[in-house]
Amino acid sequence: MNPREKKLAIAMGVLLAAAGLWAVVKYGVVKRWQTLQANIAKTQSDAERYRKNLEVAHAAEADWSALRPLSHNVDRAQNKFLQNLHQLLDKNGLAEDCTVTPQAPRELAKTKGMTEVRATIAARGTLQQIVNFLCDFHERDYLARLDRIKIAAEQKPASATRSPAPSTPAKSSRRRGSRSTAAATREGPGYGAEGPTLNVTIEASALVLGELKIGNTVVAQPTAEAGEDAEPVERLPRARDEYARIWESNIFKLWQEPPPPPPREVATAEAPAPQSEPEPQYEPPPPSRPNKRIGATISMSGKLAVLILDCDDPGRPSEKVEINQPVDDGTLVLVIPGGNGGMVVQVPERRGVKYYFYPFGHDETGRQYTFADRREIDPRQDAQIQAELNKVLRG
């Protein structure tokens, strides 16, 4: 082996030794260190996720233990639920002529071990009494809900079904924000100031908690039973006084024309000296209505409008008029859709603002209604139109 070959052999040996050393360092040290760092990061991420899940589990366990069922026994919960319903009915003056019918307990299909105890209530009373009962029910300190409520006004007068007055006055159940039920000034035939007597049917239910398991651990059930506290729980979404608006604007009352104002007192004075009669003022004739009619009532993006057609020029495109836009000699304020509908226009006049109804469709002879057929709204003859107009004016 000559010196050159000897140097090449030594160089190749050094290169092979360096490559072997690099492979050992890369796969024996660097690769293991990278794998260890990735395992550490994954373990830290898993530990953080397990910590958050554990916090959620502890919070859920605390919430579970804080719940207050009527009882853990279904029969006892059913009896306590019925007793509590009778107490609320008696508190709000609905105990007379009422029935509370228990229903068979029902086990929830999606939540194993939880059972509903149910009851159906049929009672009679005023709208104020019913609203106060519903508010009191939602302020109970146990897990309960109302599944269905059906309210209907009695058709016969209240005097025909009124029970005899008790010998001793009943305890007042007035609360802050409510009106007195003692004064019953007659507002109309069949009922007093509180409105007509209503028949109400309510389906109520309460929840009996079952055994909660997390893995192989059984979470302790709540030990305190509900229904023992005297103070209600604040669960209503609004202040209690705001619910008085429901019976103050009783939708079951019939609209009645307000009483006329009292006559003005005219002071007696000396007879004035005779004066010459003033010349009669010229009253211009009422303007003739344009020969137009309502072609259709439409709804666009939840807003009602009317299409106005020109009877003198049938080929002319229809004019769309929306609420609060000018039409004829006034402003459109209400659109009543349907075959017997039309529109209501607010017209300012010298003696004040008047409301005119423009009918839509045709009369018995088949003639199409035009603007000339408009009429001033009479609250007695147009009670339904007046009711819709009152809603719009109240905003």
Residue percentage of the chain with pLDDT more than 90: 14
Q: Where are the alpha helices (DSSP H) in the chain?
A: 3-25, 31-66, 74-91, 127-138, 158-161, 244-248, 383-394
Q: How far is CA 312 from CA 8, 291, 326, 374, in A?
A: 114, 7, 20, 18
Please list, in sequence order, all residues whose beta carbon lies within 8 angstroms of the beta carbon of residue 103, skipping any fewer than 6 positions away.
118, 119, 120
- Give the pLDDT score at 169: 43
Give the range among 303-307, 349-353, 358-362 with minimum mean pLDDT: 349-353
- Give the pLDDT score at 86: 92
The predicted model gives 92-118 an average pLDDT of 86
Name which of 29, 28, 47 is nearest 39 in CA terms: 47
Q: Alpha-carbon distance 88 to 249, whole Å?
A: 24
In the structure, what pLDDT confidence band is assigned to residue 153 with cuts at 50, 70 and 90? Answer: confident
Q: How far is CA 118 from CA 5, 110, 146, in A?
A: 103, 18, 10
The predicted model gives 87-109 an average pLDDT of 89
Name which of 58, 219, 53, 232 is nearest 133 in CA terms: 232
**Domain 74-159+190-248 top-level CATH class:** alpha beta
If residue 261 lies in a helix (H) or strand (E), which one and from where to where?
none
Give strand pairing partners of 335.
343
Q: 301 is written with which tokens?
A: 């993006």
Name which of 95, 258, 91, 250 is nearest 175 in CA terms: 91
Residue percentage of the chain with pLDDT more than 70: 75
- Give the pLDDT score at 48: 92
The predicted model gives 133-157 an average pLDDT of 84
Give the range among 135-144, 218-227, 317-326, 351-360 with minimum mean pLDDT: 218-227
pLDDT over 90 at 9, yes or no? no
- Give the pLDDT score at 314: 81
Q: Alpha-carbon distance 388 to 374, whole Å?
A: 18
pLDDT over 70 at 336, yes or no? yes
Question: CA angle at residue 120 from 116 to 125, to 5 degrees?
Answer: 140
Name which of 226, 219, 233 is nearest 60 in CA terms: 219
- Given a contact cutoff of 8 angstroms between Cβ atoms, the answer to whether 64 and 212 are in contact is yes
Please list, in sequence order, all residues whose beta carbon lies within 8 angstroms of the beta carbon of residue 354, skipping any fewer than 6 positions away.
346, 347, 376
- Give the pLDDT score at 178: 46
How do residues 177-230 score in pLDDT, each as one tens digit? 444 443 333 444 456 667 788 899 999 999 887 666 655 565 555 555 555 554
Q: Distance between the two ends of the chain, CA-based, in angstroms?
A: 112
- Give the pLDDT score at 143: 83
The predicted model gives 231-256 an average pLDDT of 74
Domain boundaries, the chain: 74-159+190-248, 292-394
What single-letter amino acid sits at 378?
D
Name the pTM for this structure. Answer: 0.43
Q: Alpha-carbon distance 122 to 294, whole Å?
A: 48
Q: Alpha-carbon distance 228 to 214, whole Å?
A: 30
